[in-house]
Amino acid sequence: MKNASISVRLGNHIRRHWQKHLMMIPCLGILILFNYVPMVGIVMGFQNYSPSKGFFGSPWVGLDWFKFMFNMSNFSSVIWNTLFISILKIVSLQLASVIFALMLHEMKMPRTRSLVQGAAIFPNFLSWVVCAGIITDVVAQDGMLNQIIHAVSGTNISFLTNPSWFIVLLVITNVWKDAGYNAVIIMAALAGIDPNLYEAADIDGATRMQKMRYVTLPGISQIVAMLTILALGGVMSGGFDQIWNMYNATVRSSSEIIDTYVYRMGVNSGMYSLGTAVGLFKSAVGAVLLLLSHWAAKKYAGYQIF
Amino acid sequence: MKSNLKRKTTFDYINSALLILIAIIGICPFLHLLSVAFSSGNMTSQYLVSIYPKEFSIEAFKEVFQDNRMLTATWVSVKRVFLGTVITMVLTILTAYPVSFSAQEFGARKFYVTFMVITMMFGGGLIPCYILNSRLGLINKIWVLVVPGAIPTFNVIVIMNFFRNLPSSIREAGMIDGANDFKLLLRIYAPLSLPCFATLITFCIIGHWNAWFDGMLYMRNVDLYPLQTFLQAKIASISNIKSQQKVEQMLLVSDRSLMYAYIALSCIPIMLVFPILSKHIKSGLVLGSVKG
């Protein structure tokens, strides 16, 4: 009896919705082939994979690659670099975006404001290949920036060869490229603040700073919290495109991140199994962080992806 | 009271001045890019050009236009942008439609959403994807650049949210008139969502134009590199030469002008779509997903 009702319901469902299911077929196909099959491919991390023997012929080695990975002298510094660079970038980007958005919001000349905004979001739409090409030339020993620094202080700064200055460079250029766009997202929240609140504050005799402190900041705190939380979910990637296009062997000690390491080991040196193992470590930790961040975003900012 | 609000205070002047200064510093690198590209080799190889051209010259651009590999790479990129945008938009719209219904209306929604969310949270990583695509025989094929990432979940969410915000009465009217799902999507949803699609199309074009890593990973034949991958290899080789040799002077074209000419030309399509894009961004359409 129960079975019959299920099959009747299923029949009804299919009759009503078969076209929706048909629409989902390409998505299912592509996601299964290019997202789920590679998830099965992580077995390579437990094998001594060689392309000639394939998945099924390569010998199993258990956790050997993971032991190897954790015993490598530079692995802990790669993890540390990734987290350090990511967190510096997230904090600096959020801070700069909020300040920039507030400044733009207070600007009273609409024409100039939209010009400034346009200039600020432009770098976001160029690739890191282009941006890094320009930046590495501008900050080179003889480059434009060092000429200015030399004129002011009498010395040059080796942005591209000094490991610490290179991190500063990464953080600043990241702000330059992304803060404008982030600020526009925050400004959408600023535009959504009820104007009555400002009028009420005016009647109560609030100063500009007080209005900012008690009306504007609470109005954007939610979206800023959400952007930060979501960014924290991606803390295991430190920005492959930027670093790959800007770094060189002299600053690798401070700026080798997991993704660049996987590419150099896995693809350039052909150590597929090691690359897979390191990648799996990153994905696993990253998935936990993403789940946590989405849970937190939902709990504290009412955000839901779907 | 009102005049008090309108009057500009010292704060306004300082604020505006600072913002304008930030904007100028922000575009300085691009001014530098154009100035170096348009200056003579003599000036640029000695690092004498800042933000305006010196000894104006278009020799660098002439040299770039004679580079056949640049043309080949541009053509690969154009093909890629076209294929990628068409495939992504069609598949994304098809995917967004069913999941825009609530779980009550479409019982399988939860399954599909979970299926997509899992791919956002976890992935096999670079090497398994690379091995898979090689095994599928996709090395050196343009399809490897457009098919594996053909359905960006972010875009699905944006379109889904847009569909959900359409008034439900329109949909119900269509259903009463006997429209099936395909008709509903094609005749009612799509025409109403054109502004949203336009924004995503520009994003798609920019994304495909800017992508370089997959080209480096999957294209063994240099003639199949898309423009950004070609540019990446070019910049790397130019800076290698620069570090090996002493700065050569008195040349017609320096390596720097040449590199900047390549970069400047590669940015033209972005500059063409940028005005449309910044208009859409200001209207807040792109933020659909962020607002949830």
The pLDDT of residue B246 is 46
**Is the CATH number 3.30.465.10 carried by domain B59-291?**
no
Nearest residue, CB atoms, B125 vs list A113, A135, A282? A282
Which SS3 state, helix, strand or coil, does residue B56 take? strand
Q: Which residues of A touch B182 (CB under 8 A)?
A: 19, 23
Tens digits of per-residue pLDDT, B165-223? 888 888 888 888 888 999 999 999 999 998 889 888 988 999 999 999 999 999 999 99
Nearest residue, CB atoms, A42 vs list B128, B185, B291? B128
- Do the Cβ atoms of B278 and A121 come within 8 Å? yes
Q: Which residues of B touch A271 (CB under 8 A)?
A: none
Shortest CA distance from A110: residue in chain B: B16
- Asked whether the beta carbons of B164 and B101 are under 8 A apart, the reply is no
The pLDDT of residue A36 is 95
Distance CA A257, CA A263 (A): 10
Residue ranges, chain B, pLDDT below 50 = 1-4, 246-250, 285-292
Residue environment code for A109-135, b if the CB has 16+ CB neighbours within 10 A, otherwise e:
eeeebeebbbbbbbbbbbbbbbbbbbb
Shortest CA distance from A129: residue in chain B: B232
Which of A129, A236, A305 to mutate against chain B (most B CBs within 10 Å)?
A129
- Do the Cβ atoms of B16 and A282 come within 8 Å? no
- Do the Cβ atoms of A306 and B213 come within 8 Å? no
The pLDDT of residue B240 is 65
The pLDDT of residue B154 is 86
Sequence-distant (≥ 6) Cβ neighbours of residue A177 within 8 angstroms: A123, A124, A126, A128, A131, A242
Domain range annotation of chain B: 59-291
The pLDDT of residue B147 is 95
Q: Which residues of A touch B164 (CB under 8 A)?
A: none
The pLDDT of residue A51 is 83
- Do the Cβ atoms of B277 and A125 come within 8 Å? yes
- Do the Cβ atoms of A240 and B217 come within 8 Å? no
Strand-pair partners of B39? B56
Give which of A225, A289, A267 is closest to A86, Cα–Cα.
A289
| pLDDT digits (tens), chain A, 306 positions | 556 688 888 888 888 889 999 999 999 999 999 999 999 989 898 988 888 888 888 888 989 999 988 888 888 999 999 999 999 999 999 999 999 999 998 888 888 888 898 899 999 999 999 999 999 989 988 888 999 999 998 888 889 989 999 999 999 999 999 999 889 888 888 888 888 998 999 999 888 888 888 998 888 888 888 888 878 888 988 899 999 999 888 899 999 999 999 999 888 888 899 999 999 999 999 999 988 988 888 887 777 777
The pLDDT of residue B250 is 44
Residues 56-85 of B with CB under 8 A from A: none
Q: Which residues of B touch A129 (CB under 8 A)?
A: 210, 212, 228, 231-232, 235
**CA of B45, closest CA in chain A: separation in Å?**
10
Which SS3 state, helix, strand or coil, does residue A47 take? strand
Q: Which residues of A touch B284 (CB under 8 A)?
A: 188, 191
Sequence-distant (≥ 6) Cβ neighbours of residue A107 within 8 angstroms: A113, A116, B12, B15, B16, B19
pTM value is 0.89
Which SS3 state, helix, strand or coil, does residue B39 take? strand
- Do the Cβ atoms of A21 and B98 come within 8 Å? yes
Q: What is the dihedral of CA B114, B119, B124, B130, to 10 degrees?
A: 140
B248 Cβ under 8 Å from any chain A Cβ: no
Distance CA B46, CA A6 (A): 80
At CA B272, angle to CA A137 and CA A126, rounded to 5? 35
Q: How far is CA A13 from CA A6, A10, A28, B104, B105, in A?
A: 10, 5, 19, 12, 10
Sequence-distant (≥ 6) Cβ neighbours of residue A215 within 8 angstroms: A193, A197, A198, A201, A206
Half-sphere exposure of A147 (CA within 13 A, CB side): 11
B34 Cβ under 8 Å from any chain A Cβ: no
All structural domains of chain A: 2-46 (no CATH), 64-301 (1.10.3720.10)
Sign of the Cα torsion B40, B42, B44, B48 reads negative
- Do the Cβ atoms of A31 and B115 come within 8 Å? yes
